[in-house]
């Protein structure tokens, strides 16, 4: 049993990534690529894989939704929301670094963004939590702790109903749920090219300045 993909081969020919067309800092290119993905109707182009590694030295990765990306001065900041007691939350408490990965197959593009991670200011987490639909707010409460074992679907649904009755219309943000801010110190852009001669451009922070380099495919 199994599936053999060894003969599956796509040639990537949609675009190129050439120094003369990009800037010395990474944000404008990321902005352009996200907008290209939206225009291409990639479903949830702001979904990213986030890799963390706690003190057990075992990397783990999962998808989350990037809720905001901003350029502040020379910094590129990514925001995502989750449960602070989840596996990723525990990893980040032990080792506050992560790498986020976007893969937009339709554009033959990948972006990797790594850096230090810190909890978002509580007021910002409150504001985002309050903007969510009530059902999502209740689901955040049900998931305590996220990634903990539950005996059945029914237990979750009963808890949801109980919490809904308890809170009424105003569901407060749980202290165990909120945002993280990733402060990028390395961003790699990958554009697939024919013959596996892909374009890869890395921006790295060195002495607080972005340095741009081409790296081998
Ligand atoms: C498309 C998609 C979007 C997701 N977005 C989030 C998110 O924004 N925040 C979150 O905590 N989990 C999100 N999840 C669930 C996570 O992938 C994961 O199951 C959960 O956060 C628990 O991960 P952990 O146990 O590694 O901490 C998403 C999953 C998918 C497939």
- Catalytic-residue membership of 144: no
Confidence of residue 198 (pLDDT cuts 50, 70, 90): very high
Contact 101, 51 (CB under 8 A): yes
CA angle 37, 38, 43 (to 5 degrees): 85
For the chain, the first-to-last Cα distance in angstroms comes to 33
Condensed to tens digits (0 to 9), the pLDDT of residues 139-197 reads 999 999 999 999 999 999 999 999 999 999 999 999 999 999 999 999 999 999 999 99
State the number of CA atoms in the 13 A half-sphere of 209 facing the CB: 4
Instruction: Take atom 14 of ligand 1 and give the residue whose Cα is closest.
Output: 64
Secondary structure (DSSP) of 169-204: T-PPPPTTEEEEEEEEEEEEEEE--GGG--EEEEEE
Note the pLDDT of residue 60.
98
How many angstroms is it from 209 CA to the middle of ligand 1?
32
How many angstroms is it from 141 CA to the middle of ligand 1?
15
Condensed to tens digits (0 to 9), the pLDDT of residues 96-105 reads 999 999 999 9
Condensed to tens digits (0 to 9), the pLDDT of residues 202-211 reads 999 999 999 9
CA angle 184, 191, 79 (to 5 degrees): 25
C-alpha 142/C-alpha 157 separation (Å) is 8
- Global pTM reads 0.96
Mutate to test the pocket of ligand 1, among 65, 95, 120, 133 (most ligand atoms within 8 A of CB): 65
Instruction: Take atom 3 of ligand 1 and give the residue whose Cα is closest.
Output: 64
- The CATH number of 19-122+179-214 is 2.30.110.10
Note the pLDDT of residue 163.
98
Note the pLDDT of residue 201.
98
């Amino acid at each position: 049993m199994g599936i053999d993909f060894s003969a599956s081969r796509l040639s990537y020919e949609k675009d190129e990534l050439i120094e003369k067309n990009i800037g010395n800092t990474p944000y404008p290119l990321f902005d352009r690529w996200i907008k290209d993905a939206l225009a291409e109707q990639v479903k949830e182009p702001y979904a990213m894989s986030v890799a963390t590694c706690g003190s057990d030295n075992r990397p783990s990765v999962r998808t989350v939704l990037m809720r905001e990306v901003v350029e502040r001065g020379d910094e590129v900041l990514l925001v995502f929301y989750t449960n602070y007691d989840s596996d990723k939350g525990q990893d980040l408490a032990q080792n506050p670094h992560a790498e986020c990965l976007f893969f937009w197959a339709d554009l033959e593009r990948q972006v990797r963004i790594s850096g230090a991670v810190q909890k978002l200011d509580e007021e910002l987490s409150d504001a985002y939590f309050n903007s969510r639909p009530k059902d999502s707010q209740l689901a955040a409460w049900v998931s305590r702790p996220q990634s903990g074992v539950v005996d059945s679907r029914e237990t979750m649904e009963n808890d949801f109903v109980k919490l809904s009755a308890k809170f009424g219309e105003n569901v407060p943000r749980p202290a165990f749920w909120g945002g993280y801010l990733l402060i990028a110190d390395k961003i790699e852009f990958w554009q697939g090219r024919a013959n596996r001669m892909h374009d890869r451009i890395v921006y790295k922070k060195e002495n607080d300045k972005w340095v741009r380099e081409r790296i081998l495919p």
